[in-house]
Amino acid sequence: SKEYVIVGGGNAAGYAVRAFTEHGVEGSKICIVAKEKVPPYERPALTKAYLFPLDKSPARLPGFHTCVGIGKPRQTDEWYKEKGIEVLYDVAVTGLDVSAKTLSTSSGSSIQYNNLIIATGATAARLPKAIGGALQGVQYIRDVADADALVEALQKCKKLVVIGGGYIGMEVAAAATAWSIDTTMVFPEPHIMPRLFTPSIAEKYEELFRNKGVKFNKGVTVKEIVSKDGEKVSAVELSDGTVLDADTVVVGIGAKPAVGPFLESGLRMAEGGIEVDGLFRTSTPNIWAIGDVATFPLKIYNRTTRVEHVDHARKSAQHCVDSLLQVQQDPYDYLPYFYSRIFEHPGSERKVWWQFYGDNVGDVVEVGDFSPKYAAFWIQSGTLKGVFLESGSPEEFGAVAKLARQQPKLDAKKLQGASSVEHAI
């Protein structure tokens, strides 16, 4: 049997392997079982530089997506080979027998483990087939195969409808402007990024989109994705009766933790994910879960949660391996953090990069002009809970992260008087 088996070949898996090698654990002790055909890579790129036209993005050069490792040795296929680490590509785990310590796989063979790390991430939520969710030209985006299909579609696309106003929808719509595609965003909420943005923050970003020609249909759901020939999408019909012509539809309506193969295993589940403790141990000995799929104690706010962001994928992987190898035994103490970047293609006069740290609860105080710099502070009962910063310097992003972590007492009135973001932080 294998000493350390990692199921899933995404961000968390890649960083778990890195952590093992940093502790001198490599070679045949480690085996990755990966459903995708490429080594772990930085997934966030798929809706950013990866979607720009080829001539506008070095990120689209071959090999870009095939590894994780920003600013570090890139973990290419050769890197895994050099380290003697086995990566089983194109193999999905289909079941787990915890008493026999065995995984069953799509290739028909089974894999025995001593220690198992589950890093299967999440899968894109789909629109029902009955309303056209599986028609040709309807694209979901979770992995590099999806992104390749979307890039192919964008090359011919004349009219794009993006369903969903979250960050995936925003990033795809922003990339489509680099292709000069007629783009409409559709979502049921009153504004974009509804889970984080206030109406006032949303308005600033929506204006950027409108300036680039992107249209919005807000407060509506999709009644049906229509096809003239019964195969390929031709339009999208909305709940208010509007019909939008479309040759391509991108659906970004959230993700679901990829727990399917483990549901019958006896592993305890929580909030749709696999329950773990502060060391990423599941309810069963010798099994850990990290990244998007894990429901973990969020120490700072004394509650449990699942986080679908890359920063957590990296940090949970590191923390899990460190504690598994007994390098440390402190519980994970994560500060929620999320970023997005849009309009970064060459020729774009306004690049957007925002970050959010902490918890978006309480009242919001906004500081600064949107251009060039802008911040928003969430304050609950006189305590700072969360900070949003647009276009900060690395030092400023570091400073707001520190503030969100410290949760200082803050007088909203005083903050309202701050003349600039620099002054406020």
- In this complex, which beta carbon is closest to ligand FAD, that of residue 140 or of residue 378? 140
User: CA nearest 51: which of 148, 121, 183, 118?
Assistant: 148
Structure tokens at 57: 């993005």
CA 257 to CA 116: how far, in whole Å? 18
From CA 396, how far away is CA 385, in angstroms rounded? 17
Stretch that binds ligand FAD, among 115-123, 197-205, 280-288, 378-386 (CB under 6 A): 115-123
Contact between 212 and ligand FAD by CB under 6 A: the answer reads no
Bond preceding residue 190 cis, omega within 30 of 0: no
Minimum CB distance to ligand FAD smaller for 315 or for 385: 315
Residue of the chain from 47, 75, 115, 355 that contacts ligand FAD (CB under 6 A): 47
Q: Is 141 in the site for ligand FAD (CB under 6 A)?
A: yes
* 298-317 CB burial, b ≥16 within 10 A, e <16: beebeeebbbbbbbbbbbbb
Is residue 77 near ligand FAD by the rule CB under 6 A? no
Q: Can you read off the two tokens belonging to residue 425? A: 């932080």
Count CA within 13 A, CB hemisphere, residue 115: 16
Structure tokens at 85: 């680490």
Q: Contacts with ligand FAD in 86-105 (CB under 6 A)?
A: 92-93
Question: By the 8 A CB rule, do 56 and 28 touch?
Answer: no
* Shorter beta-carbon distance to ligand FAD: residue 185 or 365: 185
Could you write out the DSSP letters of every residue in 311-345? HHHHHHHHHHHHHHTTS--PPP----EEEEEES-S
Residue nearest ligand FAD, Cβ-based:
10
Member of 4, 6, 8, 137 binding ligand FAD (CB under 6 A): 8
| Binder of ligand FAD out of 340, 355, 360, 391 (CB under 6 A) | 340
Indicate which single residue of 2, 4, 11, 185 sits in contact with ligand FAD (rule: CB under 6 A).
11
Segment contacting ligand FAD by CB under 6 A, of 265-273, 276-284, 337-345, 346-354: 337-345
Contact between 2 and ligand FAD by CB under 6 A: the answer reads no
Per CB under 6 A, 344 contacts ligand FAD: no
Side-chain-facing half-sphere of 200: CA atoms under 13 Å: 13
CB of 223 to ligand FAD, least distance (A): 26
Give me the 153-192 binding string for ligand FAD, x by CB under 6 A, dash otherwise.
---------------x------------------------
Dist. CA 88–CA 49, nearest whole Å: 28
Nearest to 12 by CA among 140, 167, 122: 122
Q: Is 292 in the site for ligand FAD (CB under 6 A)?
A: yes
Closer Cβ to ligand FAD, 119 or 376, answer by number: 119
CB atoms within 10 A of CB 418: 17
- For ligand FAD, give the closer residue by CB, 204 or 256: 256
Q: Is 244 in the site for ligand FAD (CB under 6 A)?
A: no
Question: Given the rule CB under 6 A, which residues bind ligand FAD?
Answer: 7-13, 33-36, 43-44, 46-47, 92-93, 119-122, 141-143, 168, 258, 261, 291-293, 308-311, 313, 338-340
